[in-house]
């Protein structure tokens, strides 16, 4: 790691604590009224509202017309005039990589589509700046790198010959290692592939330095061990990202990384303990394909937590079923086209778990209480995940399938039948015509019907929209606009798009009795916008500014000091 990492992360922690953690609680000795606002409660029986009252515990005690709200709030209530600004339930992002995003921001930075010369220069700079045992970076685009060199390990060995080096890709599904790193985890002598992973090889059979999918996890665990020092690094790396989430109006997340051997659980617990946790978090724990079944289930059971009165829970189990389409590791019903892309020998993609094992994990983990979070990009993997939910007689649910780039129309109705939630990332980068044209090289015309959000909505499925940050854009407002501008498979109207990021995520995370809408008895998790996105052209929604974000009545972001103590 760079010598500046500790200083940069520590400075970010101090800035965060100063700016957000000590933000005043609203009206500690009484009620607070927000008035003169365009309030969208998102309740099923939404009433016209221009005022809302919050008690000292951050619970909504009245919402509706100002006169009625004021009478219920009492004459001693503190009043905040929002001057016509809009108020919505806080956005809930059900698929993020918050800890990883923070760590990636501090590691040596690489550009996904850099030339090999530029990448070499970045490696040289990173090696010169790094004083720790491992040279670490992130951001390389693996298909692009492999188009430029057929022996990546030799490039990295030349530039970092004496200590292990690991450069993570830009989307979390591959890593580039030198010989020292490969030797450290035994990949220099292993025959074949490790469970759930792929080791790319040179013609002589030796690893070429690129590992895909779960094969990278042994390298990550060794480079980021669960030590007090690394736990502190992970925690301090989180803080700027938490700040970014607050600035985007996000009040609930589900972290989909869950790399518990790397100290991530402890980093989250430290944030909760220190009072710097500015979101509700229903986080996932990663299920490792190369760990013995019984041992892993026991470890995950010990890490499970689901106290509804805490901000932090670890009640999701992240089960990768396949990889990604652009690496040909997404599991598909019809083989990939010949030609472009990474050649690893799997014509129809790749599975992390064989179907019987996937079902066994689904059954065992759901019986503990975990909600299952299936990573699926191909239509074959989506079908296998739905099968696992069916066959395992899973409880308690709802469970979800995330990404869903490809889905066979025959499986649309199964979401309604199983109660599975469809979790899409409808960010501009995922919907970009150039990206779709790129994927079309691998799967042909199937690329033109990717991510069928509208079709699943019409079929009766529960749909949510998340970010997959930092792989895709974070802003909920940018995604809402993108979903509305999508011609066929987007959101039909603003209310539906907002529902996908408020009401439905609350149901998915089993907190709909406390959040997701602005109703009496629920927490005041809300966002203040500079304009009413229900009343402006769709093309302006992404330009809307978040002015304040409240978590249980507490301002965790307040750009204009609207809620500052009097």
Statement: residue 244 has pLDDT above 90: yes
Whether residue 238 is preceded by a cis peptide bond, meaning omega within 30 degrees of 0, is no
**Best CA proximity match to 141, nearest among 152, 130, 133:** 152
CA distance 86 to 40: 8
27 pLDDT band (50/70/90 cuts)? low
pLDDT in tens, 299-315: 999 999 999 999 999 99
Which whole number is the average pLDDT over 227-246? 93
Residue 338: pLDDT band with limits 50, 70, 90: confident
The average confidence (pLDDT) of the chain is 93
Residue pair 342/395 in contact by the 8 Å Cβ criterion: no
The pLDDT of residue 2 is 36
Is residue 523 within 8 Å of residue 465, measured between CB atoms? no
Q: Beta partners for 130?
A: 2
Sequence-ordered list of residues with C-beta below 8 angstroms from that of 482, at least 6 positions apart, any chain: 426, 427, 428, 431, 490, 542
Task: Tell me the C-alpha distance between 162 and 180, whole Å.
Answer: 7
Kindly state the average pLDDT of the residues 388-410.
94
Residue 9 has pLDDT above 80, yes or no: no
Residue 29 is predicted with a pLDDT of 60
Residue-wise pLDDT tens digits, 425-442: 999 988 999 999 999 999
Distance from chain centroid for Cα 434 = 23
| % of the chain with per-residue pLDDT over 70 | 95
The percentage of the chain sitting over the pLDDT mark of 90, rounded to a whole number, equals 87
Range 86-114 average pLDDT: 93
How far is the C-alpha of 217 from the C-alpha of 211, rounded, in Å?
A: 10
Q: What is the pTM of this model?
A: 0.93
Q: What is the pLDDT of residue 187?
A: 97
- Tell me the pLDDT band of 329, cut-offs 50, 70 and 90: very high
pLDDT, mean of residues 463-469: 96
């Amino acid at each position: 790691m760079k010598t500046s990492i500790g200083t940069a992360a520590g400075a970010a922690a101090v800035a965060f604590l100063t700016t957000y953690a000590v933000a005043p609680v609203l009206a500690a000795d009484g009620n607070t009224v927000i008035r003169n606002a365009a309030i969208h409660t998102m309740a099923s029986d939404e009433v016209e509202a221009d005022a809302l009252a919050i008690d000292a515990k951050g619970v909504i005690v009245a919402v509706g017309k100002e006169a009625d709200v004021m009478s219920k709030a009492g004459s001693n209530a503190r009043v905040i005039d929002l001057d016509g600004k809009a108020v919505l339930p806080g956005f809930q992002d059900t698929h993020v990589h918050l800890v990883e995003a923070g760590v990636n921001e501090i590691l040596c930075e690489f550009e996904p589509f850099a030339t090999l010369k530029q990448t070499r220069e970045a490696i040289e700079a990173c090696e010169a700046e790094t004083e720790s045992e491992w040279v670490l970076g992130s951001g390389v685009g693996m298909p692009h790198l492999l188009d430029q060199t057929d022996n990546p390990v030799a490039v990295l060995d030349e530039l970092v010959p004496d200590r292990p080096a690991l450069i993570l890709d830009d989307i979390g599904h591959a890593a580039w290692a030198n010989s020292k790193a490969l030797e450290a985890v035994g990949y220099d002598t292993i025959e074949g592939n490790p469970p759930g992973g792929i080791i790319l090889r040179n013609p002589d059979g030796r690893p070429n330095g690129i590992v895909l999918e779960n094969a990278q996890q042994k390298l990550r665990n060794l480079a980021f061990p669960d030590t007090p020092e690394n736990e502190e690094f992970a925690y301090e790396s989180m803080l700027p990202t938490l700040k970014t989430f607050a600035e985007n109006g996000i009040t609930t997340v589900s972290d989909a990384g869950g790399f518990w051997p790397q100290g991530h659980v402890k980093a989250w617990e430290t944030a909760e303990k220190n009072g710097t946790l500015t979101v509700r978090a229903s986080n996932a724990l990663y299920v490792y394909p190369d760990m013995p079944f019984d041992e892993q289930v026991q470890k995950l059971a010990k890490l499970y937590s689901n106290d509804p009165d805490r901000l932090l829970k670890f009640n999701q189990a992240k089960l990768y079923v396949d990889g990604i389409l652009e690496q040909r590791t997404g599991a598909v019903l019809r083989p990939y086209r010949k030609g472009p892309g990474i050649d690893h020998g799997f014509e129809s993609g790749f599975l992390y778990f064989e179907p019987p094992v996937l079902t066994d994990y689904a059954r065992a983990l759901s019986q503990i209480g975990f909600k299952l979070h299936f990573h699926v990009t191909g239509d074959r993997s989506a079908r296998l995940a739905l099968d696992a939910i069916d066959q395992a007689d899973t409880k308690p649910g709802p469970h979800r399938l995330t990404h869903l780039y490809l889905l066979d129309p025959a499986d649309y109705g199964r979401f309604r039948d199983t109660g599975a939630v469809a979790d899409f990332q409808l960010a501009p980068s995922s919907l970009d015509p150039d990206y779709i044209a790129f994927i079309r090289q691998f799967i042909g015309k199937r690329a033109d019907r990717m991510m069928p959000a509208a079709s699943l909505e019409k079929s009766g499925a529960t749909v949510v929209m998340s970010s997959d940050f930092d792989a895709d854009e974070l802003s909920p407002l940018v995604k809402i606009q993108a979903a509305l501008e999508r011609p066929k498979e987007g959101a039909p109207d603003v209310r539906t798009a907002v529902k996908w990021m408020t009401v439905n995520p609350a149901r998915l995370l089993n907190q709909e009795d406390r959040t997701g809408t602005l109703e009496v008895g629920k927490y005041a998790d809300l966002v203040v916008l500079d304009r009413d996105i229900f009343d402006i052209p769709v093309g302006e929604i992404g330009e809307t500014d978040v002015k304040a974000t409240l978590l249980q009545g507490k301002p965790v972001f307040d750009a204009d000091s609207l809620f500052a103590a009097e």
